[in-house]
Amino acid sequence: HLLDLFLHLQKMYAHTDSAAEVLLEKKGGAGIITLNRPKALNALNLSMIQQIYPQIKTWEQDPETFLIIIKGTGGKAFCAGGDIRAITDAGKVGDRLAQDFFREEYILNNAIGTCKKPYVALIDGITMGGGVGLSVHGHFRVATEKTLFAMPETAIGLFPDVGGGYFLPRLSGKIGYYLALTGFRLKGRDVLKAGIATHFVESEKLPDLEKDLIALKSASKENIADLLNSYHVEAVNSLFFSFSLFSANSMEEIVKKLKQDGSPFAIKQLETINKMSPTSLKMTLRQLREGASMSLQDVLTMEYRLSQACMRGHDFYEGVRAVLIDKDQSPRWKPAALEEVSDEFVDNCFKPLGNNDLKL
């Protein structure tokens, strides 16, 4: 008996161990996805993507599942991004993971964006990069006072991917361009005001909200919206700056506008932009300008091409080294100045990949 028990426990733990990075459970009418790597701030890796995607597809077909909820554990983060370290290691040695990760991540982002069941993301805590891709394309995004939102990719030689080219240019004014190029961090209510969240709820109320969502008997989008509205705390109106300085046809033009403006805000933005990868900045501005009039599917296909261009290039590995590995915060970008990044080089990043293109 003891041996049986031992083997049974071993099997159980082996199973929970591999499944522990993400928990997938059905409660009441809700399918619940819990990102469960609190020590890594719930960063998203390939095995998590490969568990979440088929589960969403299954719940979509299940008549007993009315809605899908996604949340993170640990109280600090919803999801702080993708597993950049693993991608870096893979990209350096030409490992398939550098292709597979982006491909499967974007396929998941598209599944969220086209999900037939209402999808509710509880973005409590840090929500950056890959975490934005798991939330922003869903029907409902609930921010709290603990939410910290950013797309910080230009600082590591990447670009705001996971569909950033779709949602960022669609935010009001030019705030999306500002967030994309500078990696500026929005906190709490500002995430709602920017139009990234659909609702704002106090963090301590989330367990109650979740219980009520699970208990919904016929969960239509309207029912869910009504419930979220009943928890929603109206924002006191505070106006954003005007981000019109970020409205331009080229990065050089944006820099020129900021210099001419000369306000403390503009000077601060110039300082930030000067630290970013010039290649990433040019790639990102074009990504957003083109993405503004594209479908989510076409944006993700474009972004997959860009991701592979970054894997072939220099700045991504240098940015990861400077920010995440050596932490000296002084990346040596190549080329080092905006003027040195040719239109030809940028054009090349956007070229189709033939058989290797992302197909959605």
Catalytic site positions: 82, 130, 153, 161
Q: How many CB atoms lie within 10 A of CB 256?
A: 13
What is the chain's Cα-based Rg? 21
* Residue 100 and residue 49 in contact, taking contact as beta carbons nearer than 8 Å: no
Terminal Cα distance for the chain, rounded: 51
Residue 208, token pair as written in the block: 């109650």
If 0-12 CB within 10 Å is exposed, 13-18 middle and 19+ buried, where does residue 326 land? Answer: exposed
Question: What DSSP string describes 54-102?
Answer: HHHHHHHH-TT--EEEEEESSSSEEE--B-HHHHHHHHHTT-THHHHHH
Helix/strand/coil percentages in the chain, nearest 5:
55, 10, 35
Q: Which helix (H) or strand (E) holds 241?
A: none
With tokens 């029907």, the residue in question is 139
Q: What is the dihedral of CA 176, 180, 181, 184, to 10 degrees?
A: 90
Q: In whole angstroms, how far apart are CA 317 and each of 75, 88, 282?
A: 31, 6, 18
Using N-to-C axis directions, what is the helix angle for 278-291 and 251-261, rounded to 10°?
100
